[in-house]
Amino acid sequence: MLSCRVCGTRNWERVLSLGYTPLANNYVRMNDLKKEEIYYPLTTVFCAQCGLVSLDVVIPAPVLYDFYYYLSSESKTILAHNEWLARYLTTRFGLGPADLVVEIGSNTGTQLRCFKTLGCRTLGVEPAENIATLANEHEVETLNRYFTTATAADIVTQHGRSRCIVARHVFAHIDDLGDVLRAVNRLLADDGVFVIEIPYLVDLVDRNEFDTIYHEHLSYFTIGTLQRLMERYDLRILDVEHVEVHGGTIIVLVERARGQEAERVRSMIEEESAKGANKLEYFRAFAARTEQIKLDLVSMILDLKRRGQRLAGYGAPAKGNTLLNYCGIDSAYLDYVRDNTPTKQGLYLPGTHLRIRSDEYARAHPPDCYLLLAWNYATEILEKEKEFIDAGGRFIVPIPAPVFVGG
Ligand code: TMP
Ligand code: ZN
């Protein structure tokens, strides 16, 4: 068993096992359907020493990220969030044309573009070659590299230090956090801010978002655990914003350690303790609720099938693959899943081999009920599918607990 990437001990307690699943972003091409897929254990463990929740296996980063299917979301919800974040950071930290904003795991550059529009210099760092190429084609300057101390040193030489380093939904994917935080220390200007946007472990547990667990997400953090990690690298949390995107996200503002810990951060950490979010029992209760969701969801779906209804999945997000594989929901139950990402259409889901269809196909072959796998966009999607619902169509929203909407 690994040692904890925050505190270095091996005081692990097993929390939740979701069985064996293939990698959630390994969509399958038609010609590869007969090839065997590799299944890896998907088990979370809790560090009794520092409160980190982690997977108990680490898939090597090049296997996951050298080629990557996931393109930055272009959904209305996320584009509005990208704009808000750029405006918030440029205003709060007075970022202007002289300042360099670096984004780690910048994907196609949708976030950096917002900083560019507001007049900052920007540089993306993106390990997936196919995606870095797309970003550069769209004129968001992007290095095709992993963010390491060597990368940081090169950026300092070529562009100078950065007043704002952004890491959106990437920090949980990193195994060697020590190297990344040393790299941040090297690249960050003395008055700079390091911004980590990450799913909030407390939301994940309280809202039963077990499907957010997949092999790319190695770590699940409370603010208390993050603070402890930052202290080891002479950094500290200055402030935290709590927002709704992706089912509950924290935006953690980190600066070089100086002076006292912010009062607001301390009170958030106290709230976590009061809830028991640093105790094993909190996670054991979550595991029990997860098992109940599986039973409830499967029985709702069986009931619909018995009555001859047709079902399809809505959205083919990575987390949908955790949910489908863990619950054993495959082509016996769903006819297809629809997704509006052109690069995913025509491919098949890992494990369940459900075919990914376009919106046009789905409109021509509507099911009676959609299982909303992309539940983090429920508001946006239910609004968009008003016509389907008005015509008697239904959705099952599986998280935080399976319910029917519409019909
Ligand atoms: P994400 O939560 O990782 O951004 O993934 C959401 C997936 O859902 C992504 O593959 C795009 C898909 N999607 C649709 O198919 N239709 C929609 O209206 C929205 C908002 C997302
Ligand atoms: Zn630990």
pLDDT in tens, 4-49: 999 999 999 999 999 999 999 999 999 999 999 999 999 999 999 9
Rounded CA gap, 333 and 57, in Å? 31
Peptide bond into 342 cis (omega under 30): no
pLDDT score of 258: 79
pLDDT score of 234: 95
CA 317 to ligand 1 center in whole angstroms: 6
Rounded CA gap, 13 and 36, in Å? 32
Closest listed ligand to the CA of 383 = 1
Query: Which residue's alpha carbon is nearest to atom 6 within ligand 1?
Result: 317
Q: Give SS3 for 191.
A: strand
Structure tokens at 239: 């402030």
Sign of the torsion angle spanned by Cα atoms 173, 177, 183, 188 = positive
Closest approach atom of ligand 1 to CA 359: 15
Closest approach atom of ligand 1 to CA 377: 20
Query: Which residue's alpha carbon is nearest to atom 3 within ligand 1?
Result: 317
**Cα R_g (the chain), whole angstroms:** 21
pLDDT score of 67: 87
pLDDT-derived band at 70 (thresholds 50, 70, 90) equals: confident
pLDDT score of 340: 95
Structure tokens at 29: 């091409």
107-163 pLDDT tens trace:
999 999 999 999 999 999 999 999 999 999 999 999 999 999 999 999 999 999 999
Stated as kind and residue range, the H or E segment containing 90 is helix 76-92
Mean pLDDT of 195-206: 98
Query: Which residue's alpha carbon is nearest to atom 4 within ligand 1?
Result: 73
Query: Which residue's alpha carbon is nearest to atom 21 within ligand 1?
Result: 315
pLDDT-derived band at 182 (thresholds 50, 70, 90) equals: very high
Structure tokens at 210: 């077990």
Task: Please provide the average confidence, as pLDDT, over all residues in the chain.
Answer: 96
231-265 pLDDT tens trace:
999 999 999 999 999 999 999 999 998 767 788 89
pTM over 0.85: yes
375-391 pLDDT tens trace:
999 999 999 999 999 99
- For residue 165, which of 190, 193, 185 has the smallest C-alpha distance? 193
pLDDT score of 375: 98
Rounded CA gap, 213 and 326, in Å? 11
CA 165 to ligand 1 center in whole angstroms: 26
Mean pLDDT of 90-95: 98
CA 121 to ligand 1 center in whole angstroms: 29
